Chains A and B, each alone.
Chain A
């Protein structure tokens, strides 16, 4: 049995997430296009006030799931409830949901002001109320002076803010975002990520974000749902996903990881030992896992959790391996070392560049010893 993904709440930065208040419930939803299964029996619960990220590569079904929430596709089976109300047969214009499209979908023949007002006009609000709310929202997204411009007169970042304002001005209970930061350049992306979070906290709207970018997911989300081939493979906070992946897929998908295949030789309630030919040694993990002795398992160790030293440790029999530095990538804030160990496998190690001067740093072709703490490996059986 795999190590279960426990929702170890509280590990993420605090958000005003009302864990008691379930807001969106997706029950056994499947979507088929002909023979092709885009979404395979997905069940998910999303709480009020949280930012939930659907993370996955292209073709994993995350966008299809989002479109079903918005109402543009109907599930082949299963149901979707928003705030307790079954959304079956409810068209997109009658749902308390709004969507921010990947391409922004701003109406090119309307000014910023009219774009933002459009949704309110459909609600048949009095003109004065509409003008007030539009002006307020434009202030919040800092687009006040651009109200009379048309979309083609705006920059990419400005257009994104219009799309956001247009969706949020209707005060939806749920906002769906389709790759919201994809079209922005790196600097703008970072800045916008934090702006989005602030906005969400300020307005208290529940966000569901679809993205293929792990960094985006890790920064924005209070919880992440990793999707692969139409299924949800793991749900948890960013810490959960990163430090406690439930499968090799998730471990490999988020960040980088060193995976060592081995056999479980000792299985105790408080520790396990894994013999790994790939490693050329024994891995000692200081917690018990639910698996049978003799089973094939994988030990996943993150690069930043491996220590690299010229001299061997006190006890080199466990959690230690010798190798030769083959590649070094200098990233400025940290260095990535690719070390070839005796078994031939390449191990990836990252070290922060604590010292400015390069003299004492480990260099190419040096023989080094890699060690890690017994708490560092994650044992995976799938």
Chain B
């Protein structure tokens, strides 16, 4: 039987004016449906291209630019950094100014190293506290009756919908020297003079835990809810006390939820800016604030870029762990 004339769209396009360009574009692997939608090839490729191009341009390329500028030198100019590539017209040469000064600066200057370490420490402790607060809540919600469960979840999510900034602000009012907590304690006679709660590490921990609690509770709940309760019954039948059953069965099974929740809190917490600005110490800054200061106050874009890249390097492993967890969750859902 003779092969019918190829009247499909890609073929028609590829023999047109932009033929070679189209053929190049089509070389990048067919989506599943194209196995039988040959004529729709360009259609589904276009669909994939739209968000892809956006993210490439507005998410990936910016990182590359940051990377590039981190190797450059600061200049009093607009923009305030020396160009990396300079085409010298008459000499017909390309001068590449590429230096690691900014990174060396970061590594050798005490300020940056201690700031990094401090940020990681604060984020880690906050994550731990958040876990200790969030796990019992998630557990309690998962074990409550299905009818009331949705009410609890709604109550957990409700603060998240109100402004994050305002909720952090609320703690300023609670923690300051003439704030609610101090007034209460003074009024009850438990202390003689106000405790210095604000502008301390403690205040930052509270702020982070408070703001990120829904991010810890939801993945934990999502995991705990799927647990097969008959496993605990079997454990009890075999003689295990509730605490033992929890440690041997529930806790290990909830590990994926613990990891997901912890990553969801830890990674953004390292780079937190608003919370330390409103609640934190002024003598020891977190890295997010340092980056911002380098950029806005010092107008040193290259160093700020180097700080950003250094932060990324620090966080790249947790980020990849998180993405691996996300993928597994979605596949399990199928």
Residues of A within 8 A of B (CB): 71-72, 74, 86, 89-92
For the complex, give the distance between the alpha carbons of A90 and B35 in Å. 10
Q: Which residues of B contact A86 (CB under 8 A)?
A: 1
Q: Quote the shortest CB–CB distance from A79 to chain B (angstroms).
A: 10
CB–CB A89/B36 < 8 A: yes
With an 8 A cutoff between CB atoms, is B37 at the interface?
yes
A89 touches B1 (CB 8 A): no
Residue of A nearest to B38 (CB): A89
B35 engages A74 (CB within 8 Å): yes
Q: How far is the CA of A72 from the CA of B33 in the complex (A)?
A: 9
Number of A-B residue pairs having CB atoms within 8 Å of each other in the complex? 11
B15-41, CB < 8 A from A: 35-38
Q: How far is the CB of B175 from chain A (nearest CB, A)?
A: 50
Q: Give CA–CA (A150, B222) in the complex, Å.
A: 31
In the assembly, what is the distance between CA of A91 and CA of B34, in Å? 9
A72 to B1, CA, bound (A): 24
A96 CB, nearest partner CB in chain B, Å: 15
Ordered by A's residue number, 11 sampled pairs between the chains whose C-beta atoms are within 8 Å are: A71-B36, A72-B36, A74-B35, A74-B36, A86-B1, A89-B36, A89-B38, A90-B36, A91-B36, A91-B37, A92-B36
B residues lining the A interface (CB < 8 Å): 1, 35-38
Chain A residues with Cβ below 8 Å from B1 are 86
Taken together as a complex, chains A and B put the C-alpha atoms of A202 and B1 apart, in Å, by: 35
CB neighbours (8 Å) of B35 from chain A are 74
Q: Which of B35, B36, B37, B38 has the most CB of A within 10 A?
A: B36
A218 to B: closest C-beta gap in Å: 34
Chain A positions within 8 Å of B38 at CB level: 89
B156 CB to nearest A CB, Å:
29
- List 9 other contacts, CB 8 Å, given A74-B35, A89-B38: A71-B36, A72-B36, A74-B36, A86-B1, A89-B36, A90-B36, A91-B36, A91-B37, A92-B36
Closest 3 CB pairs of A and B: A91-B36, A74-B35, A91-B37
* A91 nearest CB across to chain B (Å): 4
Question: Bound state CA distance, A71 and B1, in angstroms?
Answer: 21
Closest to A91 in B: B36
**Residues on B with beta carbons closer than 8 Å to the beta carbon of A92:** 36
CB nearest to B40 among chain A residues: A91
Residue in A closest to B34 when the chains form the complex, CB atoms: A91
Closest residue of chain B to A71, judged by CB?
B36
Q: How far is the CA of A71 from the CA of B33 in the complex (A)?
A: 11
Chain A, residue nearest B1 (CB): A86
CA distance A91 to B38 in the complex (A): 9
Closest residue of A by beta carbon distance from B36: A91
Query: What residues on A are CB-neighbors of B37 within 8 Å?
Result: 91
Q: How far is the CA of A89 from the CA of B36 in the complex (A)?
A: 5
> Nearest B residue to A73 by beta-carbon distance?
B35
Q: How far is the CA of A89 from the CA of B7 in the complex (A)?
A: 13
CB distance from A31 to the nearest CB of B (A): 12
Expressed in whole angstroms, the minimum distance between the Cβ of B12 and any Cβ of chain A is 16
Chain B: CB-nearest residue to A74 = B35
CB distance from A260 to the nearest CB of B (A): 46
Closest to A94 in B: B36
A74, B36: Cα distance in complex, Å: 8
Considering the chains assembled together, what is the distance between the CA atoms of A92 and B32 in angstroms?
Answer: 14
Closest to B8 in A: A89
Q: How far is the CA of A90 from the CA of B37 in the complex (A)?
A: 8
Task: Identify the closest chain B residue to A84 (Cβ).
Answer: B1
* Distance between Cα atoms of A86 and B36 in the complex (Å): 14
What's the minimum C-beta distance from B35 to chain A, rounded to whole angstroms? 5
Chain A, Cβ-Cβ closest to B37: A91
Q: Given the complex, which residues of B lie within 8 Å of A90, measured CB to CB?
A: 36
Determine which residue in A71, A72, A91 has the highest number of CB atoms from chain B within 10 A of its CB, and name it: A91
| Residues of chain B lying within 8 A (CB to CB) of residue A71 | 36
**How close is A211's CB to chain B, nearest CB, in angstroms?**
25
Complex Cα gap A89–B41 (Å): 13
Which residue of B is nearest A86, CB measured?
B1
CB distance from A84 to the nearest CB of B (A): 10
Chain A nearest CB from B37 CB (Å) reads 5
Q: Which residue of B lies closest to A88 (CB)?
A: B36
* Residue of chain A at shortest CB distance from B35: A74
CA distance A72 to B38 in the complex (A): 13
The smallest C-beta distance from B44 to any residue of chain A, in angstroms, reads 12
Closest residue on chain A to residue B33 by CB atoms: A91
Complex Cα spacing A86 to B38, Å: 16
In this complex, what residue of A is CB-closest to B39? A91
Bound CA–CA A71/B35 (angstroms): 10
Cα-based distance from A64 to B194 in the complex (angstroms): 75
Q: Once the chains are docked, how many angstroms separate the CA of A291 from the CA of B245? A: 65
Cβ–Cβ < 8 Å partners of A72 in chain B: 36
Task: Report the bound CA distance from A74 to B35 in whole Å.
Answer: 7
- Measured in the bound complex, the distance between the Cα atoms of B49 and A114 in whole Å is 34
Most buried by B among A71, A89, A90, A92: A89
A26 to B36, CA, bound (A): 18
In the assembled complex, the CB of B303 is this many whole angstroms from the nearest CB of chain A, namely 51
A86–B1 alpha-carbon span in the complex (Å): 9
Q: How far is the CB of B43 from chain A (nearest CB, A)?
A: 12
Q: Which residues of B contact A91 (CB under 8 A)?
A: 36-37
CB distance from B1 to the nearest CB of A (A): 7
Instruction: Report how far A76 CA is from B1 CA in the complex, Å.
Output: 20
A90 shortest CB reach to chain B, Å: 7
Task: Give min CB distance, B41 to chain A, whole Å.
Answer: 12
| Shortest Cβ gap from B213 to chain A (Å) | 35
Q: How far, in Å, is B30 (CB) from chain A's closest CB?
A: 12
CA distance A86 to B35 in the complex (A): 16
**Nearest CB of A to B191, in Å:** 61
User: How long is the Cα–Cα vector from A74 to B38 in the complex, in angstroms?
Assistant: 12
Question: Quick one: closest B residue to A90, CB to CB?
Answer: B36
Question: What's the minimum C-beta distance from A334 to chain B, rounded to whole angstroms?
Answer: 40
A91 to B36, CA, bound (A): 5
User: Measured between alpha carbons, how far is A92 from B37 in the docked complex, in Å?
Assistant: 9
Residues from chain A with Cβ under 8 Å of B36 in the complex: 71-72, 74, 89-92
How far does the Cβ of B244 sit from chain A's closest Cβ, in whole Å?
40
Docked CA distance A72–B35 (Å)? 9
Q: For residue A74, which residues in chain B have a CB less than 8 angstroms away from its CB? A: 35-36
User: How many Å from the CB of A71 to the closest CB on chain B?
Assistant: 6
B42 → chain A closest CB, angstroms: 15
State the CA gap A72–B37 with chains docked (Å).
11
Q: How far is the CA of A86 from the CA of B4 in the complex (A)?
A: 11
Instruction: Give the complex CA separation of A89 and B38 in angstroms.
Output: 7
Name the distance in Å between B23's Cβ and chain A's nearest Cβ: 19
A91 to B33, CA, bound (A): 9
